[in-house]
Every structure is written in structure tokens, then in C-alpha cells.
Structure 1
């Protein structure tokens, strides 16, 4: 059988700010939106907080209007701002309880050719169990399987499951599975907390399947906290990923203690293998990374994201010892990831992939082949 992980970066609609020529162009907007939404959750808005709220609204183009190029101010009840015709804008809300609303990223349709390439990646990887990251929702994931995958000559998946996570941007984790591997149980971890609060930015969803041989196989699909725009040096992001790694390790150890021997932990961990944030999971458990298998095929690059540099190995497929013992190999599949004409050691890409905007994703798929 084949297990795979693929960050699809949304199937039908994507945040407009992410559809620019380069990811870095949207970083200021993403950083401001994330910081502002966190500030707006504070129970009391101090004068310093109000000043920062106004500064962030200015960055986002929302001081004089509820609508800007990339974001909008959603208001359900109460009032956040007073916008006089003359004079400065004022924050009139006193805290979270005095109004209900948030800053929302605008979305737009994913490029049609990009959708086709995403389907082609799914078709060519042809996994029996495919963990997906950044999928819109279950109905659209099911529609994508039935319509787009079929359109490119692939076989639609009989089992499609996704549970809404903690991120309001429609970037959830889910799974596509063949009928030969019936889904028996699901457990979400969106409510898991530690001393700092809610652990998972999205979810660590737990899926239990039965193999054709009657064995139980548990798959944990993850999407750890992203890095790059939260704080300088990514201190908060790294700390959050560390907490998430600790909790996933605890879940894994609990499954092993309960008698589950066949376990896969996969997804986008948003950090490289030598990161201290991932140590609790990679070094603190007996999980084995499929990329350490002698028959694993990296292709011309070690990484799974963007240009494929070694530090960009952020997508993972970790296997319990019993599952790793049954692995016959694996690979990184990056034909849907764009590279420019000057890229050194380029990888093969689809002939119809002629520009970055048409890429299936910035992430390659990663898979493991198992004798089950």
C-alpha cells in the first residue's frame, strides 16, 4: 500500500494575498492580520493596544473603510471604530466583550490550471491513503475527488473525510482513502490544551483504518504553526510548534501504550528536521522518518517546499517501528511544484506547468510504500 502527505494549499479558493507573484509580497499583510486578530481577542484594550490596533489597521488599509484589497473588517455586533469625517480615527471598543468581529482575509478562485495540476499530482502519486493539508472543507474536497481527479484520468476516492479545525481561513487537514481501507474511527484534537492554552493551530486529526489483512492502522494528519511572519526570528511560531510536537508525541505514545503498533504521523510540520521545536516528536519518540529509508528517493533536492533546499524539508511522513519495518521505499513527488528556467539541478515538472501561478502547490507530496 502507499501512504502519502500533500499540502494542496487550497483546492478552489485561496487567500488573495497568497496569490501574488511571490509569497514574500504578502508577508506584511499576513503578519498584520495575525497580530491584529490576536489583539482584538484581548479582554481589555489599553491605550497602547488601541494605538497598535490603529497602526495595524493602517497597514491593512482599513482605517477609513471596512474593505481593502486583501482584507475586510467583519462586524457582527457593537462598534470597533469611530471614523469622523474630519479628525483621527478612534478605537471606541473597550475590549473583546464590547463588540464582535474580526479581520478576514479575502479569497479568490484558484487558477484553473493549478487545480488541474493538483489533481494530476493526486493521480500520479496514487496513494491508498492520502493525508491532505490546507483543504477548503469536506464537501469541496469530495467534489475535487469526484470531478477534478476524474477529469485528469484519476480514480476518485471512496472515502473523503475532513473536520473543521481551529483556523478560520479554510486550511484544514483531512484524508482521502480507498475502499480497501475502511475508515473505522475519527478523533479530533482541536480542543487539546496545555498550560499555554489551545495547542493546535488547525488540528491533529486521528484516523483509524482497517487494512485488507484485518490490521488496525492509525494515521495522524497534522499542520503545525507556520513560520515567517508571526514575530521577528519566529520565536512565537517556534514555541507553538514545540508545544504541538510535544502533544503529538503524547498522542502517539498513548496509542502505542493502548496496543496500536501500526501508526503514521504525517503532514506539514513547518520546520526542518534539525529544528529544536520538532525534537519532542522526531527525537523524543521511536517514530522513523520515511526519508531515512535506504530506498527513499529524494530526487535532485532534499526539501519538500519551494526550491527544495534541505532546510525546506518541512513535510513529513513518520512511521512507528512496526510500520517502518514494512516499508519498501518512498519518494518526494514534486512535478507539480514550479521552478524557474535558471534553477540548478531542476526537477521534472508537468509540461503544462509554465508559470508559478499554475503550480499545484509550493509543497511537494511525500509518500511511503508499505508491505501491508
Structure 2
């Protein structure tokens, strides 16, 4: 049975125009230019800017989903089930010839309220063939991943291990089955220059917990079972620099999920294609702009799925023009990038855009699975 499975960090698909006291990044630039004499005037203006930008952005997010033509979608940074359903009804279904349903979301642990979610083709399953299990309450102690590095954060053994959740989605597909572990691991941004290194123990603990979940779910038969770990895992094994130079970046917090365990089909692509995120920023210590293409989004396949092969698609047409689509091209000038085609209509230099991540999809040939 052939299936297309996709994962996509849709970047703050939210009904809120700000996160508590924190202004959403999309509106910060425009609001910084304005002055208001009364607080309510600023609030009204901020709402208007946010809504206008959101409509443009969500058309592009929907175009990426339509282009992927996935049977199953694992999503990150979704505000609520209501917003998810509204987005598909008013954006995706106006652009895609696939109709989605079976929407699932459980409120997780993220302080901004952004959660992981699931959707699938309506005609793929009946409602009673989809079962979800949240692990938002799971603790470090429960999975045996509490150690000295975690204690250094002031975390206790009974604190929650997942920064968002690991949503387990069991799909009964008739003669076969598939289980998804939908994740969004701890961000590398800790407000410091050592963001990746400083937050690595938290991501590694989450990765170890996910591995444990898979092994608990399938027992000694986990290698022969049909499962995929999907989501924004917020770490990378290598960096692709300007000119296409690839530099390994060990250690990586995701090693528990890949060393003798899940298989990353993106690693079989040519080096210049192995990325789902582009980062460009001024590095004060180096006094220069640093540009990096990295893979943050993953569909890690069980050994049983991987041995049957997988076709990988990475949807990049929704990225802003400032993103070089081919890391090998040494010309990063505005003149060159602004004339590069292969973008959706109305994509901007920095915004609007579909997301700051690419949609990653794989086509798999699902074998008959061991049934419980």
C-alpha cells in the first residue's frame, strides 16, 4: 500500500494576534515605525497588521500543502483544533483537490500554546480507524531519562519531559497499520550564543523518551513494525554552507533516534538537497553574517519501512526570496536572489512566506504489519 506522509511546521498557525505580552514577530517591524497616543489605538493597529499578514501567509502555507499531495499530514505550531479546521476549510480546500479530515490535536506543554496536530485524507480512513494518545504528562523519571545534565536546569525527575508533546497516532488501514509519533522537540533558541549546545540535554532526553515510546508500543518486534517519527526535531547532523560545503556537526541530540534505530531517508539525497531550514544571522563574536542550510524536519522510518525504499520530496516554493534554494550557488546578492523564480505568487523577500520551514514528504510502500 503506497502512502504519502508529510510533516510541516506551519509557523504559528494561531487565532491570537499576540502571545500574551509578546508581540508576534511578523508584526514587530511595521509596529516599530508607528507611534500612538492611546494604548487601544496601538492594539487595534496591531490586530489589523497581524490579520492582513496572516491571510497572505496562510494562502502560501496552503499552497505548500496542496503541492505536497500528502495522504497524511503531521503538523507543528498549531494553536487549536478550531483553528486547524478553519485553516483547512478556508485555505487548503480552496487550493487542493484533496479533502482532509480526521483532525486531531491535544493541548500540549508549550508556553505559547502551539501544539502538534494530525490530519489525513478523508477517504483514507473511517473515524474509528484513528486512535491518538497524548504523552504531554509524561515525566523524565517515567522514561528513565533524568540525569545530571537535566538536573542542572533546575528540573525535577517528575517534571514533564516533552516541551510540547509526543502525539502517538495509530492508524488501522485494514490489512495493515501505521503508527506515527508526532513531535516538536525543544528549540535551539535559549537567547544565548550557545543555543544549540545549551539546550541539547533537553532535546536528547526527549529523543530518548520517544525511542522508549516506540519500543514500549511494539516490544521486541519494533524493527518489523510500521512506524514513523515525524516532526520538527530542532537539531541537525550537518551544516550546508555557502558553496555547498557540508560540515558534520556532532554531537546531535537526535542520535538516540537514528543510531541503530530510525532511518532518515533525507540522508540519501545529494548533499545540497539535505535541508529543510535556512538560517541567516549576524554573529557578533565573528563580526560577520553566518548562513546555514540545515535539516530540522524529519520523517524517521522504521527499519521495516526503510528497507522498502522511500521517495523524498521537500517543498521549497513557499520560502522567502532571501533563501538561496541551491546552497551551491556562491552568488548570495539581492540582485541574484530577487530574480530567482520557482516561488508561489506574492511571496516576499522576507515575508509573506508559507513558513520558515519546508514541508517534508515521503512516499512509502507500506508492508503488512505485525498485528497485536
TM-score > 0.5 by shorter chain:
yes
Q: State whether structure 2 residue 232 is matched by structure 1 residue 268.
A: yes
The CA RMSD over aligned residues, in Å, is 3.1
Q: Which moved more, 1:342-351 or 1:160-169?
A: 342-351
2:81 to 138, 162, 178: 138
SS of residue matched to 1:249: helix
Give the structure 2 partner of residue 10 of structure 1: 12
Q: Give distance in 2, aligned partners of 1:345 and 1:328.
A: 33
Change (3 A) 1:312 1:187: same
Q: Tell me the CA shift for residue 111 of structure 1.
A: 2.5
Secondary structure of the residue aligned to 2:188 is coil
For structure 1, which segment, 253-262 or 361-370, has the greater mean C-alpha deviation from structure 2 after superposition? 253-262
2:139 to 190, 193, 215: 193
SS in structure 2 at match of 1:159: strand
The 3-state SS of whatever aligns with 1:286 is: coil
Question: What does 1:35-114 correspond to in 2, within 5 Å?
Answer: 108-109=50-51, 110-114=53-57
Give matches, 1:201-240, under 5 Å: 201-211=163-173, 213-234=174-195, 235-240=197-202
Q: CA offsets per residue over residues 224-262 of structure 1, 9 Å max, x none?
A: 111123444124421111111111111122223164500
Displacement of 1:357 in angstroms is 1.9
Structure-2 residue corresponding to 1:75: none
Deviation readout 1:170-218 (Å, 9 max, x if unpaired): 310011112314443111110111134211110010000022x521200
Does structure 1 residue 281 correspond to structure 2 residue 242? no
Partner of 1:304: 276
Which residue pairs with 1:63 in the alignment? none
Indicate the residue corresponding to 2:267 in structure 1. Answer: 292
Cα 1:253–1:368 change in 2 (3 A) is: same
Q: Does 1:314 align with 2:296?
A: yes
Which structure has the higher relative contact order (CA within 8 Å, separation 6+)?
2
In structure 2, the CA distance between the partners of 1:189 and 1:346, relative to structure 1 (3 Å rule), is farther
By how many angstroms is 1:112 displaced?
1.2
Instruction: Give the structure with higher Rg (CA).
Output: 1
Partner Cα separation in structure 1 for residue 252 and residue 319 of structure 2: 28
- The Cα shift of 1:129 comes to 0.7
1:114 aligned counterpart, secondary structure: helix
Q: Offset of 1:12 from its aligned partner?
A: 4.2
Q: Distance in 2 between matches of 1:347 and 1:201?
A: 38
CA change 1:149–1:9 in 2 (3 A) is: same
**Alpha carbons 1:230, 1:236 under 8 Å: kept:** no
Q: 1:346 to 1:252 in 2, by over 3 A?
A: farther
Aligned-pair distance for 1:144? 1.0
Classify 1:305/1:346 alpha carbon distance in 2 versus 1 (closer, same or farther; 3 Å): farther
Structure 1 distance, partners of 2:25, 2:163, is 19
**Aligned ranges 1:158-197 → 2 under 5 Å:** 158-178=101-121, 179-182=123-126, 183-194=129-140, 195=146, 196=156, 197=159
Q: Distance in 1 between matches of 2:340 and 2:295?
A: 16
The residue aligned with 2:243 is: none
**8 A contact 2:170–2:180 mirrored in 1:** yes
Assess if the C-alpha contact under 8 Å between 2:278 and 2:293 holds in 1.
Answer: no
Distance 1:146 1:257 in 2: 39
Number of matched residues?
290
Partner of 1:52: none
8 Å contact 1:307–1:339 — kept in the other structure? no
Alpha carbons 1:185, 1:207 under 8 Å: kept: yes
2:13 partner SS: coil
